Structure 1
Amino acid sequence: MNSKEAVLSAARQFLGFVNRSPSPYHAVEECRTRLLAAGFTELREVDKWEIKPSNKYFVTRNKSTIIAFAVGGRYVPGNGFTITGAHTDSPCLKVKPVSKKIAHGYVQLGVSTYGGGIWHSWFDRDLTIAGRVVVKNGSKLEHKLIHVDRPILRVPNICIHLQRDMNDQFVFNNETQLAPVLATCVQQELQGPANQDENKKEKHHPIITKIICDELEVKPDQIMDFELMLADTQPATIGGALEEFIFSPRLDNLLNCYCALEGLVNSCEGDTLNEDPNIRMISLFDNEEVGSSSAQGAASMLQEHVLRRLSSGGGPTAFEEAIPKSYMLSADQAHAIHPNYSEKHEMQHRPGLHEGIVIKINANQRYASTAITQSILREIATRVNVPLQDFVVRNDSACGSTIGPIMSAKLGMPTVDIGAPQLSMHSIREMCCTSSVLQSVQLYKGFFELYPEVFASCDF
């Protein structure tokens, strides 16, 4: 068992990561910073790669997806890949391309729903904006991150006196009743935001444009475009009477992004990489919450392109030889048993907090786990002393999915779906146990170090 001090230390380090990652772009930049500090070399897709054994690299796409890998000292093209996959995006409200809204004396912001969020949880929260802005600087187009570190938006509830049945059923229209308030027209007129280009004024209110310009120290006519999302200003924290919970936004799925990154980096600190015949890899994709069908999503050709480049030089069938020697952990959060809704779980499969990482299984292949891939993971988990739990959804309930089935089908790669148990999935504030961070890091580190040996012992 891990000590409470070790568990809390790992959990608090994760809090720093998630608090600095209010958008996929911030999450990837945080990963990039940590990888550079750990001695990884950044590659560009447009360049020719010269990959060497015992060296470490990473590449990004769209600034929202990142693939990092450490090349085993005994790697030759045609050998396998040891991969942990996760996703950088979470359900949120995104600023519309034309966001200016004026209604009954209020300045509001037009937003779109992204993913399958629990949208009522966004009401009465202190919100801000975060994301990226493309800025023109002379003849250059520059990519800049933005995170306004103060509450500037709120989606207010209707008072119960005007909607007496609110506690019986809270129903609202996502288009007309989910628009956040930015300011009042009275105060805006008193303060008189700076004038700006008429086209910008038509698309976005001068208040939001001024906030962006002030944050980035640019002029309105330098802003070419942006992708901004709303985020809660309340930071992630350790909670519970016994300090055993994490209360946080974006646990799904920044917890696995962080733990996969830590597992990879930690696995490279000793001598095991020099003796590894495989390439160790993490693949953190954008757009999982909306189906992964994008140039930077798990359904794209990105993963295959990277694996083929790393297999080049090993003959015409090196890539095809590598795939059956490879194995992927599809790491995405899992549903813990809810004390107030226990009937929603299949009675023999009720994952609990502090009880280990969850293997997700579905007879209809909504998850990619098989008896073979599960057995390999169980052997690794036993060796690193990380407990596992099983989960299947009830036959009368719909089952979500992950990048696992998408990538295993596209690549033909053996895959197992796993995740840490949590509550409040897809809420603006989610909840998991502190144990999950250290357990996940230990499991992923052990996976990177032990998979080639376990695979060699398999007689199938």
Structure 2
Amino acid sequence: MKYHNSNQNTNSTPPKEAVDFIEFVNNSPSPFHAVEEARLRLIEAGYEELKERDSWKGKLKNNGKYYFTRNRSTIVAFAIGGKYVPGNGVSMAGAHTDSPCLKVKPISKRDKTGYLQVGVEPYGGGLWHTWFDRDLSVAGRIMVETGENKFEHKLVKITRPILRIPTLAIHLDGSVREAFKFNNETHLTPLIATATKALAGDSINTEEKHHPIFLDLLVQELGCKVNEIHDFELCLYDTHSSTIGGAFNEFIFSARLDNLMMSYTILTALINSTRDTSESLSNDPNIRLISLFDNEEIGSTTAHGADSSLLESTLRRLCVSFGNENLETIFEETIHKSFMISADMAHAVHPNYSDKHEENHRPQMHKGVVIKINANQRYATTATTSLILRQAAKKYNVPLQEFVVRNDSSCGSTIGPMISANLGLRTVDVGNPQLSMHSIRETSGTDDVGHAIRLFQGFFEDFAKIDQNIIVD
């Protein structure tokens, strides 16, 4: 193996795409914040907001760029090609905004042995042992009363650490040397204060759903009154910022890489491919669309998840809202000319557990985007859809890798199979390689951010041309 000379400068400059992603993920401690960050970037790029509750008839135009949100935790954005006519295809990419986390319970107030605690509930399949002994805080959305019988969704993010889940000292339980075992209900409850320091009467007021000191911290951030808070959805998050590290600045150390990295890359690729100077959009007969869904980590079967009617209803509206066409089969024609990239992070080979990977399918960081394949269709990739992706990769010379799970291991899944099955839509599953998936702190490669952006941009720009040269029917 060839190594760098020891005299080489190790202060390598990380790729600009990786630096920008760090800003994106640090601004997105909850799905609501991730959607808001995406929304602001789309507005800056000239995208116009639509509302699902309104008619789109007469609002959509060739070369137009639009977006809408649902539940403020899912966002869909699309740009209409200059040569698009109803019945043409849609070039799509999808990812998800949620990650495993701990969420504050509806009644969170707890007191125990002189400590004030906040009751939390696990969301998704997190590696919960990684949440112990971390500097934690809360972020999410609060429904605030802003006038008489008027309520608004407000984002909140407390940046300083206010919560912690301490481990038990080894002297009190020597068995942790062999295995760290804990109960999610009794041991995974964070501290917020000591009763000694708490406000007078807080620990014995049983009528409150939440500790007054906890609510006080929220109103300080919002600038409202306690009685104006009517409900909230709050995630715990690690206040330690995402960063770039490694001897050559080659690693990204971050929470929520799964799946904010893929959300960021498809968002950035869409924006790059639809800039005002982009001739490819003017000449495109297709619509370019991205969907960043919520709730993938819990199965996607929600009103704003990928297993809902959201994508189908969006595509149907695009078919009938653009122009005056009223063709009976226009939606079906569109589906069979369309394509979806399901983008979700992939498993990089782990140097300490390399035997957990199938020997011929061991993705590595910096070596390209991973095509995920499973014979039992836990991933939606087929020979045809992977071929289309490989053709798109040629535009920007993006390297690709392949991943197949070992025969004696279980296989995760993505939004790909459910979207493909629900719509009869050609789909490929891909993702960037990472380590420590579902940990509070994950690891990926800096070069792979740019690899994914360029792959997806090439897809948006060239899919309509590629599809003309692939005959399967």
Give yes or no for TM over 0.5: yes
- Of 68, 83, 88, 1:59 maps to 68
Mapped pair 1:262 → 2:233: no
1:310 aligns to 2:318 (yes or no): yes
Deviation at 1:241, TM superposition (A): 1.1
Give the drift of 1:125: 0.3
For 1:54, give the aligned amino acid: N
* Matched residue SS, 1:161: coil
Q: Give the aligned partner of residue 299 of structure 1.
A: 307
Contact 2:251 2:443 survives alignment (8 Å): yes
Tell me which residue corresponds to 2:157: 147
Q: Deviations over 1:170-195 (max 9, x none)?
A: 000000000000000001046x7799
Q: Which residue of 2 aligns with 1:231?
A: 237
Residue type at the aligned position of 1:309? R
Q: Which residue of 2 aligns with 1:288?
A: 296
8 Å CA contact 2:130, 2:440 repeated in 1: yes
Match of 2:20 among 13, 23, 28: 13
1:316, distance to aligned residue in structure 2 (A): 1.4
Can you list the C-alpha shifts for 1:369-421, whole angstroms capped at 9, x where unaligned?
00000011111112320000000101111100000001111111000000000
Q: Which amino acid aligns with 2:99?
A: S
Amino acid at match of 1:219: K
Code of the aligned partner of 2:236: L
2:436 aligned with 1:424: yes
Name the CA distance, whole Å, in 1 between partners of 2:101 and 2:377.
27
> What letter corresponds to residue 327 of structure 1 in structure 2?
F
In structure 1, C-alpha distance between the alignment counterparts of 2:349 and 2:203, rounded to whole Å: 52
Matches for 1:78-227 after TM superposition, within 5 Å = 78-139=87-148, 140-189=150-199, 201-227=207-233
Deviations along 1:340-388, one digit per CA (max 9) or x if unpaired, are: 0011111110001111100000010100000000011111112320000
Given that residues 420 and 426 in structure 2 are in contact (C-alpha distance below 8 angstroms), is that contact kept between their aligned partners in structure 1? yes
Give the direction of change, closer, same or farther, for the CA distance of 1:193–1:213 in structure 2 (3 Å limit).
Answer: farther
Pick aligned residue for 2:53 from 41, 46, 53: 46
Deviates more, 1:333-342 or 1:4-13: 4-13
Amino acid paired to 2:392: I
The letter for the 2-side match of 1:294 is T
- How far residue 310 of structure 1 moved from its aligned partner, in angstroms, is 0.3
Contact 1:76–1:314 (8 Å) recurs in 2: no
3-state SS of paired residue (1:417): strand
Structure 2, unaligned runs of 5 or more: 1-10
Q: Deviations over 1:271-300 (max 9, x none)?
A: 110110000000000000000000000000
2 CA distance for matches of 1:220 and 1:383?
Answer: 55
What is the 5 A alignment of 1:372-387?
A: 372-387=384-399
**8 Å contact 1:296–1:302 — kept in the other structure?**
yes
- 1:395-406 pair list within 5 angstroms: 395-406=407-418
Normalising by structure 1, what TM-score? Answer: 0.96
User: Whole-Å Cα distance in 2 between the matches of residues 193 and 128 of structure 1?
Assistant: 20
SS at match of 1:86: strand
Q: Please report how far the alpha carbon of residue 213 of structure 1 lies from its aligned counterpart in structure 2 after TM superposition.
A: 1.0
Q: Secondary structure at the match of 1:280?
A: strand
C-alpha RMSD of the superposition:
1.5
Match of 2:39 in 1: 32
Name the CA distance, whole Å, in 2 between partners of 1:448 and 1:350. Answer: 28
Contact 1:7–1:438, Cα closer than 8 Å, also in 2: no
Deviation for aligned residue 1:40:
0.3
Residues 62-98 of structure 1 show CA distances to partners (whole Å, capped at 9, x for unaligned) of 0000000000011111100100100000000000000
Task: Give the 3 Å change call, closer, same or farther, for CA 456–314 of structure 1 in structure 2.
Answer: farther
**1:352 corresponds to which letter in structure 2?**
Q
Give me the whole-angstrom Cα distance separating, in 2, the residues matched to 1:308 and 1:23. Answer: 30
Residue 316 of structure 2 aligns to which amino acid in structure 1? Answer: R
Amino acid at match of 2:387: S
Question: Which letter maps to 1:289?
Answer: E
Question: Aligned equivalents of 1:361 and 1:74: distance in 2?
Answer: 34
Give secondary structure in 2 for the equivalent of 1:134. strand
Is the 1:91–1:426 contact (alpha carbons within 8 Å) kept by the matching residues of 2? yes
Cα deviation, residue 137, structure 1: 1.3
The answer as to whether partners of 2:82 and 2:284 remain within 8 angstroms in 1 is yes
Separation (CA, whole Å) in 2 of partners of 1:194 and 1:365: 52
Match of 2:336 in 1: 324
Q: Could you list the runs of 4 or more consecutive aligned residues of structure 1 that deviate by over 4 angstroms after TM superposition?
A: 4-7, 192-195
Residue 221 of structure 1 and its aligned partner are, at CA, apart by 1.0
Rounded to whole Å, the distance in 2 between the matches of 1:295 and 1:135 is: 22
C-alpha distance in structure 2 between counterparts of 1:449 and 1:373, whole Å: 17
Offset, 1:5: 7.7
CA offset digits 1:211-237 (Å, max 9, x no partner): 111110111111110000100000000
Q: 1:39 and 1:446, CA in 2 relative to 1: closer, same or farther beyond 3 A?
A: same
| 1:78–1:314 contact (8 Å) kept in structure 2 | no
Contact 1:77 1:314 in 2 (8 A): no
Q: CA deviation at 1:163?
A: 1.1
Structure-2 separation of matches of 1:41 and 1:15: 26
Give, in whole Å, the separation in 2 of the partners of 1:5 and 1:373. Answer: 37
Q: Distance in 2 between matches of 1:73 and 1:145?
A: 36
2 CA distance for matches of 1:216 and 1:284? Answer: 27
How far does the alpha carbon of each residue in 1:137-160 deviate from its partner, in whole angstroms, 9 at most, with x for none?
112111100000100000000001
Which range moved further: 84-93 or 181-190?
181-190
The answer as to whether partners of 1:7 and 1:437 remain within 8 angstroms in 2 is: no
CA contact 1:420–1:440 (8 Å) conserved in 2? yes
Which segment is superposed worse, 375-384 or 19-28?
A: 375-384
Given that residues 144 and 229 in structure 2 are in contact (C-alpha distance below 8 angstroms), is that contact kept between their aligned partners in structure 1? yes
- Equivalent residue for 1:358, pick from 370, 380, 387: 370
Instruction: Name the SS for the 2:175 alignment partner.
Output: coil
Asked whether the equivalents of residues 239 and 247 of structure 1 are also in contact (C-alpha less than 8 Å), the reply is yes
Q: Which residue of 1 aligns with 2:5?
A: none
State the 1:7 CA deviation. Answer: 5.3
Could you tell me how far apart the structure 1 residues matched to 2:199 and 2:84 are?
66
Kept in 2: contact 1:135–1:224 (CA 8 A): yes
Q: Provide Cα deviations, 1:232-266, integer angstroms capped at 9, x if missing partner.
A: 00000001011100000000000011111100000
Q: Return the offset for 1:8.
A: 1.9
Contact 2:242–2:255 at 8 Å: present in 1 too?
Answer: yes
- What's the counterpart of residue 335 of structure 1? 347
